[in-house]
Amino acid sequence: MDITKTQKANKLLVVDNELANLQLLITCLGEHYEIQVAHDGEEALTEVHASKPDIILMDVKMPKLDGFETCRRLKADEQTKNIPVVFLTALDDTEDEIKGFEAGAADYLTKPVHYKEMLRRIDTARQASHIKRPVAEHTQELKESEAHLIQSEKMASIGQIMAGVVHEINTPLGYARSSVELTGSYFSDIAKTLEACKKLGKQFQSKDKSDEEQLETTLATAMKLLNSLQEDETVVEAQILLENALSGIDRISSLVKNLKNFSQLNRDKIAEFDVNQGLDEALTMVDHKLCDKIQIIKHYGDVPHIICSPAQINQVFLHLLINAIQAISSDTGVIELQTQVIDQYVYISITDNGDGISKENLARIFEPFFTTKTSGKGTGLGLAIVHKIIKEHQGELNVASQIGRGTQFIIFLPFKQ
């Protein structure tokens, strides 16, 4: 069966906000599908109506409208509900997979995935789109294992941070790996061409040039291979793919560097600490959660170094930043970070324009396990940990909040011991 021909007759809409990913997917799948592209969920909804694809391959984390919501909207629309949607994402935990299937996905692929496997799954989803997947059964199974996981996850807040880090690493790792894989497959064509050229050179060098017919055949083979390399732009594509791989590797190495600085293996180690730098490092850790909807404004003063446990103070910043991000539901979020010296203290303020905290809740936020978030999203330990750490550093922690206006956390840390 001529699989290539059968598939090329089909249109595949690829939705991803990362240009490097899009480029890679076009290279991997363009040979088999007629590719259309959308850069976010909103664009996908318009594109689906305009070009009626046979199948959609979609990222989950995208600005404005994420993949899950886009899928839900497609499934709610009579005209688009039968187009199978396959998610391709670095989010690999069970909860996300459940969300994907609940949103109506036909399949859920997690990166890194071999491009042949990806092709196979896309094709299966396309062919099976008329047969309903036993979603309920599958979801139930996943929910049971999720319940088990949550129960055993005592350090869920650390788990959440790790999930973010894993996502950050998996995305570039995915495209670096596939780029290298694909470049490898190009090299067999290049090697064949080089071999033909070598043979040609040997025949020219040999004293006996009488067999002109054979010489011509070798020349024709070498030229054909060279032409096809040129036509397919194999070398140019290999170069682009290698650049992709390199940028993926660079992204991973800068993340690992930050992570190393951030966690400082010995958690109780006491050292000099630059608060402004600490805030910046915490910001890089949550960068992937900001998307385009939250603006960061910094008012850093010229503050002296403090003596503290850097790992613990980093943890404080991280918890406060995550809370601030989670409190912002609008697309015009602002988080302001301010540092200055007040008496013998470094003053650190983290202010958001999120949902705010009611008076009743404000009295309880430092209680361990007090949370207003859904299970799996919040454990209610973040502020309890923050409070404990600041107390252990002979510091002070204050909070002010107004419903609908936002929340401000203020920390005082002594710089003279």
Ligand X SMILES: Nc1ncnc2c1ncn2[C@@H]1O[C@H](COP(=O)(O)OP(=O)(O)OP(=O)(O)O)[C@@H](O)[C@H]1O
- Picking from 266, 248, 376, 358, the residue whose alpha carbon sits closest to that of residue 310 is 266
CA distance 360 to 358: 5
Contact string (CB under 5 A) for Mg ion, positions 318-337, x = contact: -----x--------------
Could you tell which of Mg ion, ligand X, none binds residue 354, using a CB distance below 5 to 8 A set by kind? Answer: ligand X
Q: How many residues bind Mg ion (CB under 5 A)?
A: 2
CA distance 296 to 282: 12
CA distance 57 to 123: 11
| Closest separation in Å from C-beta 289 to ligand X | 13
Q: Given strand 294-299, what is the order of strands in its sheet? A: 294-299, 333-342, 345-352, 406-414, 396-402
100 binds Mg ion per the rule CB under 5 A: no
Instruction: Please list every residue from 143 through 162 that binds ligand X, using CB under 6 A.
Output: 157, 160
Query: Which of 92, 291, 370, 410 is the binder for ligand X (CB under 6 A)?
Result: 370
Query: Which of 83, 103, 327, 389 is the binder for ligand X (CB under 6 A)?
Result: 327
Query: Which of 45, 56, 337, 383 is the binder for ligand X (CB under 6 A)?
Result: 383
CA distance 98 to 104: 10
Q: Is the peptide bond before 112 cis (omega within 30 degrees of 0)?
A: yes
Query: Tokens for 297?
Result: 């404004």
380 binds ligand X per the rule CB under 6 A: yes
Q: Cα–Cα distances in Å, from 251 out to 39, 151, 176, 247, 292? A: 21, 34, 10, 6, 19
Query: Which of 7, 355, 390, 415 is the binder for ligand X (CB under 6 A)?
Result: 355
372 binds ligand X per the rule CB under 6 A: yes
Could you tell which of ligand X, Mg ion, none binds residue 339, using a CB distance below 5 to 8 A set by kind? Answer: none
325 binds ligand X per the rule CB under 6 A: no
CA distance 241 to 228: 19
23 binds Mg ion per the rule CB under 5 A: no
| Closest separation in Å from C-beta 400 to ligand X | 11
Could you tell which of ligand X, Mg ion, none binds residue 370, using a CB distance below 5 to 8 A set by kind? Answer: ligand X
Q: How many residues bind ligand X (CB under 6 A)?
A: 25
Could you tell which of Mg ion, ligand X, none binds residue 381, using a CB distance below 5 to 8 A set by kind? Answer: ligand X
3-state secondary structure of 65: coil
Q: What DSSP line would sit under 280-326, residue for residue?
A: HHHHHHHHHHHTTTEEEEEE---PPPEEE-HHHHHHHHHHHHHHHHH
In eight-state DSSP terms, residue 39 is: S
Could you tell which of ligand X, Mg ion, none binds residue 379, using a CB distance below 5 to 8 A set by kind? Answer: ligand X
| Closest separation in Å from C-beta 147 to Mg ion | 22
In eight-state DSSP terms, residue 346 is: E
> Which CB, 172 or 380, lies closer to ligand X?
380
CA distance 282 to 263: 11
354 binds ligand X per the rule CB under 6 A: yes
Give the number of other Cβ atoms within 10 Å of residue 14's Cβ.
26
CA distance 169 to 251: 8
Could you tell which of ligand X, Mg ion, none binds residue 300, using a CB distance below 5 to 8 A set by kind? Answer: none
| Closest separation in Å from C-beta 328 to ligand X | 8
Contact string (CB under 5 A) for Mg ion, positions 365-384, x = contact: -----------------x--
Contact string (CB under 6 A) for ligand X, positions 280-319, x = contact: ---------------------------------------x
CA distance 329 to 293: 9
- Residue type at 61? K
> Which CB, 186 or 366, lies closer to ligand X?
366
Task: Give the helix ranges, DSSP H, for 77-155.
Answer: 94-102, 115-127, 135-152
Query: Which of 28, 58, 125, 324 is the binder for ligand X (CB under 6 A)?
Result: 324
Interacting span for ligand X (CB under 6 A) from 26-34, 44-52, 61-69, 366-374: 366-374
Binding site for ligand X (CB under 6 A): 157, 160, 319, 323-324, 327, 352, 354-357, 361, 365, 370-373, 378-384, 407
Binding site for Mg ion (CB under 5 A): 323, 382
